[in-house]
Structure 1
Amino acid sequence: MTTNISIFDTTLRDGTQGEGISLSADDKLKIAQKLDALGVHYIEGGNPGSNSKDIEFFQRIKAFNLSAKITAFGSTRRKNSLAEQDASLVRIAESGVPAATLVGKSWDFHVHTALQTTLEENLSMIYDSVAFLKHNGMEALFDAEHFFDGYKNNPEYAIAVLKKAQEAGANWLVLCDTNGGTLPGEIHDIVTRVRQELIAPIGIHTHNDCELAVANSLAAIQAGARQVQGTINGYGERCGNANLCSIIPNLQIKMNYNVLPEDKLRTLTGTARYVSEIANVHMPVGQAYVGNAAFAHKGGIHVSAIMKDSKTYEHIKPELVGNKQRILVSELAGQSNIISKAQELGLDVNANNEKTKLIMDQIKELEHQGYQFEGADASLELLLREAFGGESKELFKVESFKMLVEKTNGQMISEAIVKINVDGQQVYTAAEGNGPVNALDNALRKALVQFYPKIENIHLSDYKVRVIDEKDATAAKVRVLIESTGLDNTWSTVGVSNNVIEASWEALVDSIRYALLNMVKIDSAHADPQDRIGLVNH
């Protein structure tokens, strides 16, 4: 019989304690719905009375009728007081959610130093607080803070803390590696001993200060824990919390535990990227399972092998977690990379095609000049389509552009003047922006929107400049990478020049060309053949 593992997501509480992460009430509601669609079992929303955002979240979340249990967070009652008179506990009980997590001290050092109370009073605080939640009909999860440090220092007291929470009726006893300093072997041994002395089910909550949060969580599950607490993308204080995006597939695919339905698991990558977008934090490309490069292949020998069987260089099928295989093309690429990438685009190409060698040489020369196509898939696609006879129709032609930059009344003003040609019709337009690139972007869109109205749905989402030859100082070549978003997609383009404006313009034009090409393909699939692909406004 397959063992069930409960997933407790604390992205909305512990995750927001990460540096640079701030979520509004609307953000938290959006993420909660996405987490519920993923299939996690608990969603910890925060403390119902700690701030206005959390208060609003708990008020509004009731209307969504989510399947996951929305969970409130709080601490045990204050020392030398009554639980029923503790304002934080009362707000939790009145929040209307079915479950709550209470954090309490399990390390005697913390009891004496942080709480400045007796070991006996701390046990009473834990018992009274958990019993208060149970009396109010709530599911109670007890987070034993600093448990592993406490156990190593005074195992008898750490166990006494858990037994007191169990006696009060706690549904889950969650062992926390709060400082993130425990090793997987220690976690396994301690969880094993704890299970021998307790009846209530055990959970694990780890932090990543030694880059071991995922490994520690898996070790705890192997030792008998049945709940994992963590965050999407590992967001959290200091070095972060345990990353559920690695834990969930490791448990389900590698260790054969029952965690999520298979169709839910396939939404993992989309969930991770959605949360990253809402949190406004870029995901590391090499993040396991869900990163953009998790199943990317660059070396020619690797690509040649995976074209025969993907198992040669992939530990799982990327589709299992909603990701996809990517073939990178660069100066290291072999013929197999070019063929695979072109075939992925539906282009007719094979190993005997002379164009394959020519385009490979061209890519290597361009990368020698400073281009980098592994980070600019859209520019690469345009290059391959031109080489192998894909959609080559020129949707617009740039005749010229001009930049004016002026400082007036202490403000910098940028103005771009663009001249383009669409189907023989010349358009001359100007636009201002908060910088040269923004002005060029605005002017180009202004010129094109009358022909391609859907271009209004495209926007520039990221802009990076990299100096290629630092030794040349201000005369050095620069590489500009532009990321654009729209059409339910994100793509990147590249430009290189000694002039940052020219490099930016090159990347910008590629981005617009790629967007229009995909609009053409989308509209062509649905429009009347006599209608000019539904894009042009005549």
Structure 2
Amino acid sequence: MRKIALFDSTLRDGSQAEGISFSVEDKLKIVQALDTLGVSFIEAGNPGSNPKDLEFFFRSKDLSLQHAKLVAFGSTRRRNTKAEDDPNLKSLVHAGTSCVAIFGKSWDFHVTDIIRTTLEENLAMIEDSIRFITESGSEVFFDAEHYFDGYVANKEYALASLRAALAGGATTLVLCETRGGMIPSEVKRITQETIALFPNVDFGIHTHDDAGCAVASSIAAVEAGVVQVQGTLLGFGERCGNANLASIAGILGTKLGCDCLCGESLERLTGICRRVAEVANVRISGNAPFIGKSAFAHKGGMHIDGVQKNPHSFEHIDPMVVGNERRLLMSEVAGRALMLKRIARIAPNLDKDDPVTVSLMDELKRLEAEGYQFEGAESSFDLVIRRHLKMYRPYFTLVHYQTIGSSPYADPQSGATHAAVVKVKVKGESAITAAEGEGPVNALDRALRKVLEQFYPTLTSVHLTDYKVRVLDSAGATASKVRVLIESTDGKESWSTIGVSKDIIEASWFALSDSIEYKLIADGVEPSGE
């Protein structure tokens, strides 16, 4: 089995994405997750660029990693200076990592017009810097920045930059498609031509997604002979992002038969991606290949019929291979067979002709006529089934809630614009609490969980990750009925619930309370409401 090393740059290149900022604690958590997944290298930042990265490298010495090696990242020495006098290079040595990534210019235009030095001095900068690091005892990967553009503009100079890196002692030459504008066929051609000129040298690929080709170009480079693929696990990075390593791992493992996770199973992929997304505070796109919630979702008609008869008919792999799951979406066009399949999870003894099944189908159609749409909120539909089958006992009873807004905002420092008061009855006992939030729904969500956590501690891990509102009848203007769809998570699993009402706060309440009850049912908590 061919081995391909994944080099994750979430903590360095990924942190350059708009809206992304990692604390030191965040970085340590992501390192542990990536190591569990089985990546080979984790580029953790530039220890010379800021105090946060410096602290991370100091604290990372206490980490016990099973698979990954930490990599410090930095540039070549400054022009017209000595490597041993360059503070950035000295900080790379002090970081104490066994591997260091040094980037240098391979495009003559960047040398003359951007860093404004001579072509000869740039080659000396590359060689001197790498030699300084290797002599300190660390292995060096050379990131040939803008290599593909440089190769097209001045092939001989781009190749000279690689020779300079080898002369300094680099062990892997990483060809960087930094602008992200090359198409995969060009990346493959240039990679093949380059590797042919350097026998017995290890090559890597680093692509950006400005033309939407980062994953395809990385795979093309693997086919051309590289043994290391750089990217970020969820694809985020500067501008349009980096190559998505989740997609690349899925392709390498299921399509090309490569070991890219140090022998670990791809079954960890979806779970680890969700864990990293939580730490990064980003939402994984539903249609993300391999790991998205909708990656193996089917709705109605021949697709559902096909996968029920043979999943191979509409699925390119078994979703369990990458730790995901098949979802057959509930809707009025789904058919009685799918309804029965959903019911079977709760009441396995019902058949398709049972009057209860028929009545549930009628209930589904009635609710969808009112504006409910369960294809994206199966968790709410599970509660509909339980209520219809008399298998539902409430975990709490609402006494009342109230939301309060103010303008100007009462607390501009915290960002709170609203407050909510929620009173519930649990175990015959009334409880009331208040919370502030950024908007009425956020305040209501916080207050609800706050008042229930004293009875159900498992709710402390739950929070909302998405909130959508759709007006169902625009002709009604501000009196229109709205549909609220929320997505919740406990850091391990995610689920969606729905509410419909002419009152947006009430619709939100329906979705929020369903979310709480679904979580408690999933955890096997015994109901204790009224």
Structure 2 length normalisation: TM-score?
0.91
Match of 1:21 in 2: 20
Match of 2:216 in 1: 215
- Kept in 2, the 8 Å contact 1:495–1:504? The answer is yes
- Kept in 2, the 8 Å contact 1:327–1:340? The answer is no
- Kept in 1, the 8 Å contact 2:396–2:528? The answer is no
Match of 2:55 in 1: 56
- Kept in 1, the 8 Å contact 2:24–2:52? The answer is yes
Compare 162-171 and 429-438 and name the one that shifted more. 429-438
Structure 1 length normalisation: TM-score?
0.90
User: Partners of 2:307 and 2:162 in 1: how far apart?
Assistant: 50
Give yes or no for the alignment of 1:518 onto 2:522: yes
* Cα 1:419–1:209 shift into 2, 3 Å: closer
Match of 1:30 in 2: 29
CA drift of 1:469 comes to 2.8
- Kept in 2, the 8 Å contact 1:305–1:312? The answer is yes
Trace 1:265-344 onto structure 2 (pairs within 5 A): 265-344=266-345
User: Partners of 1:443 and 1:150 in 2: how far apart?
Assistant: 57
* Cα 1:173–1:248 shift into 2, 3 Å: same
Match of 2:243 in 1: 242
Q: 1:501 pairs with 496, 500, 505, which one? A: 505
The CA deviation string for residues 453-479 of structure 1, in whole angstroms up to 9 with x for no partner, is 555554445433222333432122211
Q: 2:421 pairs with 416, 420, 424, which one? A: 416
- Kept in 2, the 8 Å contact 1:347–1:390? The answer is no
CA drift of 1:446 comes to 6.7
Compare 455-464 and 200-209 and name the one that shifted more. 455-464
User: Partners of 1:94 and 1:450 in 2: how far apart?
Assistant: 48
* Cα 1:429–1:163 shift into 2, 3 Å: closer
Compare 294-303 and 17-26 and name the one that shifted more. 294-303
CA drift of 1:244 comes to 0.3
CA drift of 1:507 comes to 1.5
Give yes or no for the alignment of 1:380 onto 2:381: yes
The CA deviation string for residues 359-386 of structure 1, in whole angstroms up to 9 with x for no partner, is 2343233233322212222211111223
Trace 1:86-165 onto structure 2 (pairs within 5 A): 86-165=86-165
User: Partners of 2:274 and 2:429 in 1: how far apart?
Assistant: 41
Q: 1:484 pairs with 482, 488, 498, which one? A: 488
- Kept in 2, the 8 Å contact 1:78–1:86? The answer is yes
* Cα 1:459–1:276 shift into 2, 3 Å: closer
Aligned residues: 520
Give yes or no for the alignment of 1:188 onto 2:160: no
CA drift of 1:510 comes to 1.7
3-state DSSP of counterpart to 1:20: coil
CA drift of 1:492 comes to 2.1
Match of 2:68 in 1: 68
User: Partners of 2:270 and 2:336 in 1: how far apart?
Assistant: 30
User: Partners of 1:36 and 1:18 in 2: how far apart?
Assistant: 22
3-state DSSP of counterpart to 1:50: coil
Give yes or no for the alignment of 1:350 onto 2:343: no
3-state DSSP of counterpart to 2:61: helix
- Taking only aligned residues, the RMSD between alpha carbons, in angstroms, comes to 2.5
User: Partners of 1:186 and 1:13 in 2: how far apart?
Assistant: 27
3-state DSSP of counterpart to 1:496: strand
User: Partners of 1:409 and 1:128 in 2: how far apart?
Assistant: 60
The amino acid across from 1:293 in the alignment is S
CA drift of 1:116 comes to 1.1
Greater relative CO (CA pairs within 8 A, separation 6+): 2
Compare 352-361 and 140-149 and name the one that shifted more. 352-361
CA drift of 1:330 comes to 1.7
* Cα 1:206–1:461 shift into 2, 3 Å: closer
CA drift of 1:52 comes to 1.3
- Kept in 2, the 8 Å contact 1:300–1:335? The answer is no
Aligned identity (percent) is: 47
- Kept in 2, the 8 Å contact 1:403–1:436? The answer is no
User: Partners of 1:226 and 1:409 in 2: how far apart?
Assistant: 58
* Cα 1:142–1:426 shift into 2, 3 Å: closer
Trace 1:360-509 onto structure 2 (pairs within 5 A): 360-387=361-388, 389=389, 391-398=391-398, 400-403=399-402, 405=404, 407=406, 411=410, 414-416=419-421, 418=423, 420=425, 425=428, 427=430, 429=432, 431=434, 433-434=436-437, 435-438=439-442, 440-441=444-445, 444=448, 452=456, 454-456=458-460, 458-486=462-490, 488-509=492-513
User: Partners of 2:406 and 2:503 in 1: how far apart?
Assistant: 21
- Kept in 2, the 8 Å contact 1:419–1:428? The answer is yes
